[in-house]
Amino acid sequence: MKPILHSLTSELRSKLEKRGRTVAFATDEEVFAEGDKASVLPIVVSGSVRMMRYLEPGKELTIGIFRNGEMFALPPVFDGKNYPATAVAMEKTVLLMVPREDFLQLLRENSDLSFAVIGWMCNMLREKTAIIQNLATSSPEHRIGTILFRLAEEKIDAGPVRITLRREDIAKMAGLTTETTIRAVKKLADKDFFSIVHGKVVINSLEPLDRFLNA
């Protein structure tokens, strides 16, 4: 699914941009903390953001990673409650921060935007359901393969995809230890599902991973 900011008409995008303000964040800088009031809707203009929950001291779980054109933390912006997780910039990142009331007013005034947001939320719900099922029932290799597949599927048409995430980040997305993730990545690479180049996963084709995940 195309990131929502890129799927809007130029007119709707302009309306969003006029209601919001762009804010730059440094690598590892916190965007908001779990429990903060959801007063703004963040949309990634450039860079990437990781949303995570701290399960216990020293242990965290990545809820999602959001990149260019993607909005996040939408449910609490709708109901006006608190952010359910902490968001941190993974690199130098620019966000369009749209105040909650302005965003809700735009939805009331523009049915095209409302339907685009509903479609985006439906897609996110399907993805989260698949992630939960993957975490609950799959082997470490299957968990890692699913995450790598999702990270690469929207970019593969442009050629080989280099996954720039650290093993530690992939581990947090999969709910595994870094050591288990390193072993799982090596096993998958040994089976030629992808290559390891200078320490990074490089996926030339999704077909081998797809066959493995749907076997």
pLDDT tens digit sequence for 134-156: 666 678 998 899 889 988 887 78
Supply the pLDDT for residue 89: 94
pLDDT at 129 over 80: no
pLDDT at 87 over 90: yes
In three-state secondary structure terms, 205 is coil
**What percentage of the chain carries pLDDT values higher than 90?**
48
- Residue 124 confidence class, pLDDT cut points 50, 70, 90: confident
The C-alpha atoms of residue 141 and residue 146 are separated, in whole angstroms, by 9
**What percentage of the chain carries pLDDT values higher than 70?**
93
pLDDT at 1 over 60: no
Supply the pLDDT for residue 203: 94
Model confidence pLDDT, tens digit, residues 161-201? 999 888 988 888 887 889 999 999 999 999 999 999 999 99
Supply the pLDDT for residue 132: 66
Angle at 32 between CA 5 and CA 10, to 5 degrees: 15
φ, ψ for residue 160, nearest 5 deg? -55, 140
41-45, 125-129, 160-164, 171-175 — which is least confidently predicted? 125-129
pLDDT at 123 over 90: no
* C-alpha distances in Å from residue 7, one per residue of 88, 93, 102, 112: 25, 21, 20, 11
Supply the pLDDT for residue 95: 97
Closest C-alpha among 215, 158, 151 to residue 185: 151
Residues 41 and 100 sit within 8 Å (Cβ to Cβ): yes
* HSE toward the beta carbon, residue 147, CA cutoff 13 A: 32
The C-alpha atoms of residue 43 and residue 49 are separated, in whole angstroms, by 10
Supply the pLDDT for residue 55: 72
Give the number of other CB atoms < 10 A from CB of residue 156.
15
What average pLDDT does the segment 12-24 reach?
92
Query: What residues pair up with 53 in beta bridges, in sequence order?
Result: 61
Instruction: List the domains of the chain with CATH numbers.
Output: 4-134 (2.60.120.10), 138-213 (1.10.10.10)
What average pLDDT does the segment 196-215 reach?
90
pLDDT at 70 over 80: yes
Supply the pLDDT for residue 169: 85
